[in-house]
Chains A and B, each alone.
Chain A
Amino acid sequence: MKRIIIQGLLLGILILLQVSVLNRIPYLNASPNLILIYTFSAGLLRGSVNGMMTGFFGGLIMDVILGQYVGFSSLIYIVLGFLTGLTYQRLTTDVPLIPILMAFFCEMLYHMYIYVFRFLVRNRLNFGSYFNNIIFPETVITVVVSIILFGLFYYGNNLLEESEKRSALKFV
């Protein structure tokens, strides 16, 4: 219960940061995708179910705020949460290389999804320039931010797990 409330609040804060603070940073022509970072972190640290739920709600709220077809980005976030959740407890999570690789992999899937379903279907074929102008800058900045954010999530998750263990002991 405690975990659900904390995760919900965190998701809300990240969404608000994403839509109203990050675009105010000057001199950046791309901004990090915090919802994506949170989704893969939840998948890595807590497993598929948590990852999928995070992605589902995060994507849904973003879709409604920004006037996307509702469910469009939710769908890809669910898939990302599921896929990263498959590595739950199979990968060590205390090495910075893991969030870097995950952020890269998730960003690539996410952008390919948007390109194919929103641009390729309208016969926009110059993928090369889209890659240079949109995909590459956003991937780089998301990877950089993911190192810091994933670290925070990692410690937060450890703290929560400890407190959960303690309260379970008390209960017995």
Chain B
Amino acid sequence: MKKRRLDFLFSIKYILLILTIICLVSLVITYSRGDSIGVYKTAVSKVISPVSNAITGIGDHFSERSQLKADKEELLEKIERLEEENRLLQEQLKKYQSDYYSLSEMKELLNIKDDFSNYPMVGAKVIAKDNGNWFSRFTINRGSNDGVQKDMNVIAAGGLAGIVTQVGPDYAVVTSILDDQMNVSAICRSSRDACMVMGDIDAMSEGYIRLMYMKKDADIREFDEIITAPTSSKYLPDLTIGYAVLLQIDPNNMTKSGYLIPAVDFENIENVMVILKLKQ
């Protein structure tokens, strides 16, 4: 009698049912709260993030080693080239420095705050990446303990990389702007014409992002810099997103659309900065 009851408990269909219900319940909870559940989060941050950190460290070590082995002649040539570039840049820097002083004086006079450089930021390392191609997300090694919150903007060398979508104690998940669900309202830096940057899988596989809903007569040209708009609800203004290419007028003859070359190299993204300031 007892044995039969145990058999029922462990019968396959029963287990399938229980597991499915657990999954559905946690799906509904995370979907409705838009964030993962506390128990899971602490479990992950206690076990996965230190180990993953270590693995990334080992990987970095090896990639550095392999770089060291590069050809000596090539390196010497590179040094020469860089030295020349350095000289040129120093000259330019002197010029820009004087420009900068006059600019900051003028800004003081006009009472404009230069807020992008004043944002508090924290550097972070990418410790895990979604390597299916359906989504474009990565996990970084900073979390709520470092002041990271949901909806904070993440930048990498060059410009906007994504936005924080989930936060744990010492990890956070960032959805990059390439992801199919991402929409960023943007403007052209030179002409201030509005447009919309939309992640799209087809474009993503070519390394582009879609650029949509520009007015037909908007003064946006090829390779114009596209930046986040001040009207955006989640993104801080004046972050570079990328450069417009392949613009053409839509069949409806009212709007223009095209593609954007992202300013960030998403293939080899390793170090990012989280801006510790939410858009009000």
Contact residues of A with B, CB < 8 Å? 12, 15-16, 18-24, 29-31, 33, 48-49, 52-53, 56, 59-61, 63-72, 74-75, 78, 82, 85, 111, 114-115, 118-119, 122, 124, 126, 129-130, 133-134, 137-138
Q: Are A19 and B131 in touch, CB under 8 angstroms?
A: yes
Q: Are B59 and A24 in touch, CB under 8 angstroms?
A: yes
Q: What are 5 A-B residue pairs whose CB atoms fall within 8 Å in the complex?
A: A20-B52, A48-B16, A65-B139, A114-B134, A126-B202
Q: Are B23 and A133 in touch, CB under 8 angstroms?
A: no
Bitwise interface map of B from 155 to 173 toward A, beta carbon under 8 Å scored 1, else 0: 0000000000110000101
Q: Are B52 and A70 in touch, CB under 8 angstroms?
A: no
Q: Are A70 and B36 in touch, CB under 8 angstroms?
A: yes
> Does B247 count as interface, using CB distance less than 8 angstroms?
no
In the assembled complex, the CB of A119 is this many whole angstroms from the nearest CB of chain B, namely 7
Answer whether A33 and B180 are a contact pair too, CB < 8 Å, given A64-B41, A78-B20: no
Q: Are B12 and A49 in touch, CB under 8 angstroms?
A: yes
Bitwise interface map of B from 117 to 152 toward A, beta carbon under 8 Å scored 1, else 0: 000000000011111111101010000000000000
Please tell me the number of chain B residues within 8 Å of chain A, measured between CB atoms. 50
Q: Are A78 and B16 in touch, CB under 8 angstroms?
A: yes
In the complex, A18→B181 CA distance in Å?
23
Contact of B132 among A33, A52, A124, A129 (CB under 8 A): A33
Q: Are A66 and B137 in touch, CB under 8 angstroms?
A: yes
Answer whether A64 and B44 are a contact pair too, CB < 8 Å, given A71-B23, A75-B27: yes
Q: Are B132 and A138 in touch, CB under 8 angstroms?
A: yes
Q: Are A64 and B19 in touch, CB under 8 angstroms?
A: no
Contact residues of B with A, CB < 8 Å? 10, 12, 15-16, 19-20, 22-27, 29-31, 36-37, 40-41, 43-44, 47-48, 51-52, 55-56, 59, 63, 127-135, 137, 139, 165-166, 171, 173, 175, 180-181, 201-202, 205
Most buried by B among A60, A65, A66: A65
Which residues of B lie under 8 Å from residue A29 when comparing CB positions? 133, 205
In the complex, A22→B131 CA distance in Å?
8
Contact of B201 among A59, A63, A130, A137 (CB under 8 A): A130
Answer whether A19 and B52 are a contact pair too, CB < 8 Å, given A69-B30, A70-B36, A70-B40: yes
Which residues of A lie under 8 Å from residue B202 when comparing CB positions? 126, 129, 133
In the complex, A59→B22 CA distance in Å?
12
- 10 pairs of A and B residues whose beta carbons are closest in the complex: A67-B173, A19-B128, A71-B23, A71-B27, A71-B26, A31-B131, A23-B129, A134-B133, A23-B131, A67-B166
In the assembled complex, the CB of A5 is this many whole angstroms from the nearest CB of chain B, namely 15
Q: Are B23 and A75 in touch, CB under 8 angstroms?
A: yes
The chain A residue sitting closest to B37, CB to CB, is A70
In the complex, A29→B165 CA distance in Å?
25
